[in-house]
């Protein structure tokens, strides 16, 4: 039995009318089928478009992670939301304000400088790989503090050339304050390659990105008092010999001074190198003597005090963090513009090196007695001869040049500076060493 529909389309007795009607029905159906096909194709096209956008986004973030695999903590960057955060953090609030990329922004000096720049109205974007050289939770706490001031820190490694190039594409940085480094003089014996990775390879990767950027930023970066090495003329002046480093750390910082000179010479990058002298203070580095002495003294554990040959006490030109921050900002303020563009130098650019010290060396036993007074606890001391592990017997900065050209003038002595440090330490860790209790600077 045929259905009505079949009757209409395939009449048992063919006739003109029936054939005409059948053709009409066919045309309607074809039109209907054609429009459904077009809709179907459009739907397919839209699905394909969405799928390729999503997979592109995932490719960008996956490749970011792959290309920055040298960082000990997984980095993540890329995507529209990430770019929005970077741009917002980079925007300045004062007229003619700077836009500064601060590397090592979750570090000791980096976090202080980032806050100081932000507070005066400059735009700041941080970069840090949050490695575990010392307790990353301290770095995370500094990051939270910066984040509460709307400063964004990109989690990534200096050696990630794609990330750096992306950052310079997204933001026309006026300055780079390069503070990321593998620090510590004695750790170089244990892990020499980490110094080459950060202080040499990472520096070159950063300078490559800076010289290709348009506009080229001015670069201010952290060298070290350790470059004076075995120099025994005091106080250490920028014109003294720096070709006898005593540690691999010092050698990589000295190499950094030569490498930055090359980029200044070939590409017209404006360069300022700052030789920091044993910087200390609140939110400091737990690998430094004043910090771990404090922890040990409070815990009733012995500390080891190194002594030089002939029972001579070691001495350092300990410099308080706020003085260093003022020196860094003054360096940014007085930095000349880079002269290159399109990867080519258009004229000579500024190249400067300054000592940033306190000009008042203090012996290690005196440092310990100041700590004992502030902590109100007696230290258990073990005095031994300084091992041959990269240490130098003393440091003492001549800061005449920084005073003349940067208006640099340290104002905090070790007594006052350690008092501020101890106050912060006790509020952050409490007496029990079980963890942070406060995150206020
Ligand atoms: O100015 C710099 O460029 C460097 O400063 C800092 O190095 P240093 O001046 O060596 O500071 P730090 O380790 O605190 O030792 C201080 C004193 O304590 C003595 N010291 C150390 C350890 C110990 O167990 N006993 C001891 O007596 C030790 O012999 C020394 O006399 C930074 O860490 C470094 O990254 C870099 O920035």
Out of 187, 195, 249, 408, the active site residue is 249
pLDDT of 39 reads: 56
**Domain count for the chain:** 1
CB 390 within 8 A of CB 302: no
| Cα–ligand 1 centroid distance for 289 (angstroms) | 6
Residue-wise pLDDT tens digits, 151-188 = 999 999 999 999 999 999 999 999 999 999 999 999 99
Whether 48 is in a domain gets the answer no
CB 391 within 8 A of CB 185: yes
305 Cβ inside 6 Å of ligand 1: yes
275 Cβ inside 6 Å of ligand 1: no
Whether 213 is in a domain gets the answer yes
306 Cβ inside 6 Å of ligand 1: yes
247 Cβ inside 6 Å of ligand 1: no
Range of the domain at 335: 65-279+319-358+395-411
Which among 1, 22, 25 is positioned nearest to 11, based on CA atoms? Answer: 22
Q: What is the mean pLDDT of the chain?
A: 87
Whether this model's pTM surpasses 0.90: no
Q: CATH number of the domain that 208 lies in?
A: 3.40.50.720
- Number of neighbouring beta carbons within 10 Å of residue 12: 8
CB 142 within 8 A of CB 179: no
- Number of neighbouring beta carbons within 10 Å of residue 346: 13
| Cα–ligand 1 centroid distance for 189 (angstroms) | 14
Rounded Cα distance between 271 and 250, Å, is: 19
Whether 51 is in a domain gets the answer no
Whether 87 is in a domain gets the answer yes
Whether 98 is in a domain gets the answer yes
Q: Which ipTM value was assigned to this complex?
A: 0.99
Q: Give one DSSP letter per residue of 306-335, joined into a string.
A: EE-GGGPBPEE--EEHHHHHHHHHHHHHHP
Rounded Cα distance between 230 and 246, Å, is: 6
| Cα–ligand 1 centroid distance for 386 (angstroms) | 12
Residue-wise pLDDT tens digits, 178-211 = 999 999 999 999 999 999 999 999 999 999 999 9
Q: Residue with structure tokens 């500064």?
A: 100
Whether 379 is in a domain gets the answer no
Whether 141 is in a domain gets the answer yes
Whether 15 is in a domain gets the answer no
pLDDT of 22 reads: 40
pLDDT surpassing 50 at residue 82: yes
């Amino acid at each position: 039995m045929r259905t009505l529909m079949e009757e209409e389309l395939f009449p048992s007795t063919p006739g003109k009318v029936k054939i005409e009607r059948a053709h009409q029905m066919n045309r309607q159906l074809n039109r209907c089928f054609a429009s459904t096909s077009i809709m179907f194709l459009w739907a397919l096209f839209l699905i394909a478009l969405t799928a390729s956008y999503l997979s592109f986004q995932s490719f960008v973030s996956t490749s970011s992670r792959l290309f920055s695999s040298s960082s000990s903590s997984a980095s993540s960057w890329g995507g529209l939301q990430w770019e929005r955060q970077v741009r917002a953090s980079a925007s300045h609030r004062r007229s003619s304000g700077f836009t500064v990329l601060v590397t090592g922004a979750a570090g000791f000096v980096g976090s202080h400088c980032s806050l100081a720049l932000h507070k005066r109205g400059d735009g700041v974007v941080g970069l840090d790989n949050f490695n575990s050289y010392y307790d990353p939770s301290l770095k995370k706490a500094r990051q939270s503090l910066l984040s509460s001031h709307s400063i964004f820190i990109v989690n990534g490694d200096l050696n990630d050339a794609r990330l750096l190039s992306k950052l310079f594409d997204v933001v026309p940085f006026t300055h780079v304050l390069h503070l990321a480094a593998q620090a510590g003089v004695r750790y170089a014996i244990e892990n020499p390659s980490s110094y080459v990775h950060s202080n040499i390879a990472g520096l070159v990767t950063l300078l490559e990105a800076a010289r290709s950027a348009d506009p080229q930023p001015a670069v201010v970066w952290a060298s070290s008092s350790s470059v004076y090495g075995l120099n025994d003329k005091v106080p250490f002046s920028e014109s003294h010999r720096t070709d006898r480093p005593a540690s691999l750390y010092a050698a990589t910082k000295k190499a950094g001074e030569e490498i930055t000179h090359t980029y200044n010479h070939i590409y017209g990058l404006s360069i300022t190198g700052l030789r920091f002298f044993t910087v200390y203070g609140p939110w400091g580095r737990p690998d430094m003597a004043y910090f771990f002495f404090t922890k040990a003294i409070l815990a009733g554990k012995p500390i080891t005090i190194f002594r030089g040959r002939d029972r001579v006490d070691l001495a350092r030109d300990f410099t308080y963090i706020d003085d260093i921050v003022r020196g860094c900002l003054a360096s940014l303020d007085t930095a000349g513009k880079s002269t290159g563009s399109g990867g080519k130098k258009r004229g000579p650019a500024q190249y400067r090196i300054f000592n940033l010290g306190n000009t008042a060396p203090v012996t290690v036993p005196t440092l310990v007695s100041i700590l004992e007074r502030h902590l109100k606890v007696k230290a258990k001391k073990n005095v031994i001869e300084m091992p041959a592990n990269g240490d130098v017997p003393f440091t003492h900065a001549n800061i005449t040049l920084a005073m003349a050209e940067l208006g640099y003038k340290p104002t905090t002595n070790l007594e006052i500076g350690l008092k501020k440090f101890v106050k912060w330490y006790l509020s952050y860790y409490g007496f029990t060493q079980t963890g942070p209790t406060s995150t206020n600077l």
